Amino acid sequence: MFKGSFVALITPFRNGGVDEAKFQDFVAWQVAQGTHGLVPTGTTGEAPTLSHEEQERVIALCAEVAAGKVPVIAGTGSNSTAHTIELTRMAKKAGATAALIVCPYYNKPTQEGLYQHFKAVHDAVDLPIVIYNIPGRSAVDMNNATMARLAKLPNIVGVKDATNDLARPLRMRIEIGPDFAMMSGEDATAVAYLAQGGDGCISVTANVAPRMLADLHEAWAKGDFATVRQINERLGPLHDALFAETSPAPVKYAAALLGKCEPTVRQPLCPIMPQTQERVAQAMRAAGLLN
């Protein structure tokens, strides 16, 4: 259902609020650059610091620019099932194509708890759901057996896999089958994830290198592995630099270097250190994204 280069969109801020004009310009640029899908209000979009009203507005602004040209998978997860249902209903109303729902963080549900959480959202809202499995942020890991069980529900359509376990996609593909969208959530290992049965990547780096990453995934689909390798090597240092401090602070700085937004992040995040700024700038230059 979903494949290729999807961007985990940043949320530009200005004077304490969402910079709506910059955000829509940024989304339009992503579409024009060939990005295959848009993911607003996720971790990279600083959803934990957005108000309910801001989150709804950002999704609506994104869907307005996308205008059916590319899918919009809106982040709607929380560590409360009732709140996740509320946010997912809101995203559907705002025009999202699907919802990206993170495994509930902090409260550490069991595998049965994870199943019941996602089933409750599935049963309450008629919108395709992509499971977001990111143990490093949520402190819980959905195993393949639970994923396969959920995949039997008609509106559970895929996963954003940020486990960095590269044996997992192969096993998942064998267990779940070809119709489940398997998207990497780790830029540095996305090509390896594709090789193990993946369909694409929900990318942080695509915020600043959308055309190159769209080209990479299109080359992969054509079997042009020389081009894939060339782009992957060119972007490798940038993938690393964008996680030198907690994301999305480095990628917002990188986007600011391109004039796409201010580098502002909301507390408890803070601007990146001067040495990280230089590392990001060097990686941007090495990738050919800055003069």
Cis omega (within 30 of 0) for bond into 248: yes
Residue 252 known to be catalytic: no
In the residue annotation, 132 being an active-site residue is answered as: yes
Considering only CA atoms, which of 4, 6, 17, 19 is closest in space to residue 61? 19
Q: Quick one: DSSP state of residue 269? A: S
Choice among 115, 132, 193, 253 that is catalytic: 132
What is the C-alpha separation between 195 and 287, in angstroms, rounded?
Answer: 23
- List the beta strands (DSSP E) in the chain: 4-8, 13-14, 17-18, 37-39, 73-75, 98-102, 129-133, 156-161, 181-184, 200-203
Q: Which of 9, 1, 5 is nearest to 216 (CA)?
A: 5
Contacts of 248 (CB under 8 A, 6+ apart): 10, 43, 44, 45, 46, 204, 265, 269
**Which one is catalytic: 160, 193, 252, 260?**
160
Catalytic site residues?
132, 160
